[in-house]
Amino acid sequence: MSIERSHTNERASKIVKHNGVVYLSGQVGDGESLSAQAIDCLGRVDTLLKEAGSSRQHILQATVWLSDMTYFAEFNTIWNDWVPSGHAPARACGEAKLAREILKVEVIVIAACV
């Protein structure tokens, strides 16, 4: 049984690969607005998936945490443009107090390796 970990520190690994599946730690983005943070966050997801040998077309499941559900429609507009047509993953979205007060969105992804 082989488990590969990348970008590891004492608390977490940004990428964990096991049995053809990629697990990404929660990703957040920079910016003042929900839109700016969401676009940056999803860009970080793209970068990590590519590094891990996967892509957004291979996402199996995504968990989205919003600091306030009033952002739901705004986030969905960005998400719908980002997810390739016909490749929508299983997804959950909820409200949570995030690690820093300025954060508005965090995305956790599980994907298949290509």
User: Does the pLDDT value for residue 1 go beyond 90?
Assistant: no
**Tens digit of each residue's pLDDT (9 = 90 or more) over 7-61:** 999 999 999 999 999 999 999 999 999 999 999 999 999 999 999 999 999 999 9
Cα distance between residue 101 and residue 84, in whole Å: 31
**Tens digit of each residue's pLDDT (9 = 90 or more) over 16-26:** 999 999 999 99
- Give domain 3-112's CATH number out of 3.40.50.300, 3.40.50.280, 3.30.1330.40, 3.30.70.270: 3.30.1330.40
